[in-house]
């Protein structure tokens, strides 16, 4: 069984019974889509395996050592780069967690940035699809309801990914979807960092 096949089986079991937020779509669809997106940029099996596994630490409680034992240190480190420690008050910590993600993308190497791009594009495809049907009410399903802050987050991620991955179809699609969904969202700065009011 290949590394990628084992990663798919592991992720499917870890995410068993979970659905995408506000939908009945099995959660495993998202990491599978992320891996498919990553495969348009690289055929590196460790990156593709990490793309499939990218949420198992954060959302399923799988520890680094378990991933390392099952898939090797490189895959575990790539997954760890995509993960943050969950906070019990998800709405209060939203901005903090997003700033952490942006910081990780800024410091990441190209391998980790491929996974970040794949994750963000999969999310933006879902947001764009549902936004076309639900309109602004879509944002009420998230821990953070302010569309302007979602715009800030996705635009920040996209800008950081441009240098290494701006020549890929995946980055161009991400940028286009962001600009479509958030065309009416005025830019905001990040309150806890610079004190600017939103």
CA distance 52 to 34: 7
Indicate the pLDDT class of residue 89, thresholds 50, 70 and 90. low
Instruction: Between 186 and 181, name the one with better pLDDT.
Output: 181
Query: For residue 26, how many C-alpha atoms fall within 13 Å in the half-sphere facing its CB?
Result: 11
- Arch. (CATH architecture) of 3-194: Orthogonal Bundle (1.10)
Pairwise CA distance, residues 178 & 128, whole Å? 8
Quote the percentage of the chain above a pLDDT of 70. 91
How far CA 104 is from CA of 5, 71, 82, 133, 185, in Å, comes to 27, 22, 8, 32, 24
**What mean pLDDT comes out for the span 156-174?**
98
pLDDT tier, 13 (very low <50, low <70, confident <90, very high otherwise):
very high
Q: What CA–CA distance (Å, rounded) separates 157 from 183?
A: 16
What average pLDDT does the segment 76-84 reach?
A: 94
Q: What is the pLDDT confidence band of residue 186, given thresholds at 50, 70 and 90? A: confident
pTM for this one? 0.92
Is 197 a residue whose pLDDT tops 60? Answer: no
Q: Where are the domains of the chain?
A: 3-194
């Amino acid at each position: 069984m290949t590394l990628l096949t084992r990663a798919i089986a592991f992720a499917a079991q870890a995410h068993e019974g979970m659905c995408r937020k506000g939908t009945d779509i099995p959660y495993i669809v998202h990491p599978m889509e992320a891996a498919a997106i990553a495969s348009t940029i690289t055929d590196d099996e460790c990156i593709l395996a990490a793309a499939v596994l990218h949420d198992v630490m954060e959302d399923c409680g799988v520890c680094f050592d378990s991933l390392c034992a099952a898939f090797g240190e490189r895959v575990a480190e790539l997954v760890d780069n995509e993960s943050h420690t969950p906070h019990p008050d998800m709405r209060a910590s939203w901005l903090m967690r997003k700033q952490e993600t942006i910081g990780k993308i800024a410091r990441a190497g190209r391998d980790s940035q491929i996974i970040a791009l794949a994750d963000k594009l999969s999310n933006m495809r879902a947001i764009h699809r549902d936004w076309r049907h639900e309109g602004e009410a879509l944002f009420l399903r998230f821990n953070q309801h302010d569309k302007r802050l979602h715009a800030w987050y996705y635009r920040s991620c996209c800008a950081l990914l441009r240098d290494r991955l701006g020549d890929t179809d995946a980055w161009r699609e991400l940028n286009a979807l962001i600009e479509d969904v958030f065309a009416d969202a005025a830019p905001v700065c990040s309150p806890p960092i610079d004190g600017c009011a939103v």
